């Protein structure tokens, strides 16, 4: 591993200033559970790491009128411990609980979880210059693609690894982005970018921009939500398919529903066709399966990952029906 310097900024503006103009040389670090792996494995070789954990008071979960605010440096574990999260947003609480191990959840932060890089084995192999690392080809397309994308692939078939992202998009989260001279707010659903729109990153952050805070509207009365994560192993693992579902129901009738999937596309994937089909319908195995199949018509599976189509259908049946039990 190449030596690198550590900078300890006092606030986000100072951190952003240090990072500005230092593309591929200076990287922000929060818990370091992903970034340090990338450095140790030779995927990136920074000259300096800007340690955001030196910034005081950016780890918090608090209510501000009709909004819940979450600091980007809040450890994932704090989402599990927070009664504000557990009582208002089961989908987020369950997503946090499903994530990694207790040790990683203690150190890994919410901001780092949203900004982490893909786990694709071609991307994570320092010997392979894949499309995402500036090469010509996505080797997953014709190679080993069991864990890769069935939606939105095109140039590169990574899947977004975050468990929190589908849950937060399902809850209609906003994010605050800060740079040396300005701060802006955007929908988390507009934060992530497909590889064809951004070859070198998974989101809209430019060098010198940092994620500062995530906000959530308070839930509507009688709203229900769930996060279901399907993984290959019963111990810690990334999702092969996950479903974040939030809805309002009159008995078994679906008044409103939002579905965001993880593990199947380079970005958290909203299933709007299924949502449209389901609105006004009665919850049953048949109605959910029909909605899933309708949405899955747009999927393009690769040689080894067609099993994800069945998993999406099964995940939706389980998740949506459990909200009306
Ligand atoms: C064994 C293992 C299992 C894991 N399992 C899961 C899992 O099941 N589900 C899951 O979702 N994740 C999983 N992860 C991924 C990840 O490590 C954690 O999700 C963690 O939350 C990342 O947070 P961090 O603070 O450590 O990020 P870091 O490693 O510090 O940063 C990750 C990336 O985000 C950037 N970054 C960090 N903070 C900011 C910010 N505020 N603004 C802009 N950029 C920022 C960094 O530059 C880096 O590129 C796992 C990781 C490991 C090692």
* 10: pLDDT strictly greater than 90: yes
Question: pLDDT tens for residues 178-203?
Answer: 999 999 999 999 999 999 999 889 99
Ligand 1 atom nearest the C-alpha of 163 is: 11
| In the block, residue with structure tokens 């140039």 | 155
Residue 32 CB less than 6 A away from ligand 1:
yes
For residue 325, give every residue at least 6 positions away whose Cβ sits within 8 Å of its Cβ, in sequence order, or none.
none
For residue 25 the two structure tokens come to 């040389």
Contact call for residues 108 and 31 (beta carbons, < 8 A): yes
What pLDDT, on a 0 to 100 scale, did the predictor assign at position 251? Answer: 96
Residue 177 CB less than 6 A away from ligand 1:
no
Rounded to the nearest angstrom, the distance between the alpha carbon of 288 and the centre of ligand 1 is 33
* 11: pLDDT strictly greater than 90: yes
Sign of CA dihedral 145, 42, 55, 105: positive
- What is the chain's percent helix, strand, coil content, to nearest 5? 30, 20, 50
Q: What value does the mean pLDDT take over residues 277-291?
A: 98
Residue having the nearest C-alpha atom to atom 5 of ligand 1: 100
Question: pLDDT tens for residues 122-174?
Answer: 999 999 999 999 999 999 999 999 999 999 999 999 999 999 999 999 999 99
Ligand 1 atom nearest the C-alpha of 205 is: 43
| Cα(229)–Cα(108) distance, integer angstroms | 19
* 24: pLDDT strictly greater than 90: no
What pLDDT, on a 0 to 100 scale, did the predictor assign at position 288? Answer: 98
Residue 108 CB less than 6 A away from ligand 1:
yes
Residue 7 CB less than 6 A away from ligand 1:
no
Residue having the nearest C-alpha atom to atom 48 of ligand 1: 35
What pLDDT, on a 0 to 100 scale, did the predictor assign at position 199? Answer: 87
Ligand 1 atom nearest the C-alpha of 72 is: 41
- Using most ligand atoms within 8 A of CB, pick from 7, 58, 106, 112 the residue to mutate for ligand 1: 112
């Amino acid at each position: 591993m190449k030596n690198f310097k550590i900078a300890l900024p006092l606030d986000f503006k100072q951190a952003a200033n240090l990072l500005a103009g230092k593309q591929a040389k200076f990287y922000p670090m929060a818990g370091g559970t992903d970034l340090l792996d990338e450095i140790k494995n030779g995927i990136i070789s920074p000259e300096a790491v800007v340690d955001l954990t030196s910034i005081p008071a950016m780890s918090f979960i608090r209510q501000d009128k009709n909004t819940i605010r979450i600091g980007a440096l809040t450890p994932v574990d704090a989402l599990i411990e927070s009664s504000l999260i557990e009582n208002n947003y089961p989908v987020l609480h369950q997503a946090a609980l499903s994530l990694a191990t207790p040790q990683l959840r203690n150190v890994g932060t919410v901001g780092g979880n949203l900004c982490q890089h893909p786990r694709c084995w071609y991307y994570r192999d320092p010997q392979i210059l894949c499309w995402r690392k500036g090469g010509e080809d996505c080797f997953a397309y014709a190679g080993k693609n069991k864990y890769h994308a069935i939606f939105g692939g095109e140039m590169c078939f990574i899947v977004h690894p975050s468990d929190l992202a589908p849950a937060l998009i399902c809850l209609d989260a906003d994010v605050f982005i800060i740079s040396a001279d300005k701060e802006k707010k955007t929908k988390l659903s507009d934060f992530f970018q497909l590889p064809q729109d951004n070859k070198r990153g998974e989101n809209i952050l430019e060098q010198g921009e940092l994620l500062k805070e995530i906000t959530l509207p308070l839930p509507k009365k009688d709203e229900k939500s769930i996060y279901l994560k399907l993984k290959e192993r019963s111990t810690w693992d990334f999702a092969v398919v996950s479903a974040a579902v939030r809805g309002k129901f009159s008995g078994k009738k679906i008044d409103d529903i939002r579905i965001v999937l993880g593990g199947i596309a380079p970005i958290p994937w909203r299933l709007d066709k299924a949502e449209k089909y389901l609105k006004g319908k009665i919850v049953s195995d048949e109605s959910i399966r029909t909605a899933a199949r309708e949405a899955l018509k747009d999927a393009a599976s690769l040689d080894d990952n067609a099993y994800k189509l069945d998993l999406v259908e099964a995940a939706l049946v389980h998740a949506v029906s459990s909200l009306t039990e």
